[in-house]
Amino acid sequence: MDHIIDISSLSYTYMKGTPYEKLALKDVNLTVASGDIVGIIGSTGSGKSTLVQHFNGLLKADSGKIIVDGIDLTQKKLDLKDLRKKVGLVFQYPEYQLFEETVEDDIAFAPRQFGFSEKEIKYSVSSAMKSMHLSEDMKKRSPFSLSGGEMRRTAIAGVLAMSPSVLVLDEPTAGLDPFSKKELLNIISELNREKKVTVIIVSHSMEEVVEIANKIVVMSAGKIISSGTPEEVFSDEEVIKSARLLFPECTELMIELKEAGLPVKYNLCKVEDCIEEIVKIF
């Protein structure tokens, strides 16, 4: 299986050489297969956001090696422009960065900065809007007239307009209502499935991560302490507790049923899998 991201022995220190120096990442090793949806979880300060900011060159490693879609990020003459076409990074509450008069112009901003032709820009905007389930008649509307969920999707469309092969989302559903959260997660899954975009999601929500990700990475104190399928990761109670995380609610239920003496699999994570397992015993 091809690796689109390959990280070995990565370390990074914040405010190096100052009295506030802090080692944020310690000897991190990670591979991400092309086409994966990877959820990165961990408590506040575990290093999740610091790690993903290395993927498009926002932060430069102290040591180690990072290769993203064939680009060695530790080389001396790194072409950030080329890298940022390949890796789209969406920060928490990206709608706060909307600023153009129309939805169309906001989504077109990055392609224009990168020198796309007007024909290319038009195609990129339409394609990105379609991917994020934004109708064509929204192009001339002000982004500030949209609902919260639509604004979030417009901001993400602005990143998708560059046609990245890797999309990194930091807390993508933060602050959204339940309907908008579910809608956005479905769109992200669709994007991965139909456009073959590799997706990396940083999240505090165990329920969201296990529903969408095929691989989970657990971070604690700047290190990766576990990785695997959702079922593999949440089978290890010691790892979850040491990372100061909670089990998904569905998994908690299965653990309680198992402890009550019922013959159920206790490491199930997805709601539909838990329902299917419970139906078997009643």
Say which residue, 127 or 17, is predicted with more confidence: 127
- Using the predicted structure, report yes or no on whether residue 122 has a pLDDT greater than 80: yes
Q: What is the model's pTM?
A: 0.92
Q: Which residues pair with 155 in a beta bridge?
A: none
Residue 17: pLDDT band (50, 70, 90) is confident
Q: What is the rounded average pLDDT of the residues 44-54?
A: 95
pLDDT band at 1 (very low <50, low <70, confident <90, very high): low
pLDDT band, residue 265 (cuts 50/70/90) = confident
Rounded to whole angstroms, the Cα distance separating 266 from 264 reads 6
What is the band of 281 on the pLDDT scale with cuts at 50, 70, 90?
confident
DSSP 125-184: HHHHHHHTT--GGGTTS-GGGS-HHHHHHHHHHHHHTT--SEEEEESTTTT--HHHHHHH
DSSP string, 189-240: HHHHHHH--EEEEE-S-HHHHHHH-SEEEEEETTEEEEEE-HHHHTT-HHHH
Q: Give the model's pLDDT for residue 190.
A: 96
Residues 67 and 5 sit within 8 Å (Cβ to Cβ): yes
Question: Look-up: residue for tokens 């990565």?
Answer: 10
Structure confidence at residue 106 (pLDDT) = 97
When the pLDDT of each residue in the chain is averaged and rounded to a whole number, the result is 93
Round to whole Å and give the CA distance between 165 and 198: 6
Residue 128 has pLDDT above 90, yes or no: yes
* DSSP SS3 for 243: coil
Q: Please, what is the Cα angle at 57 between 243 and 79, to 5 degrees?
A: 155
- pLDDT score recorded for residue 80: 87
Task: Collect all residues with Cβ–Cβ distance below 8 Å to 201 and sequence separation of at least 6.
Answer: 37, 38, 39, 40, 169, 172, 188, 208, 209, 212, 213
Q: What is residue 140's predicted lDDT score, i.e. its pLDDT?
A: 96
- The pLDDT tens digits for 129-139 are 999 999 999 99
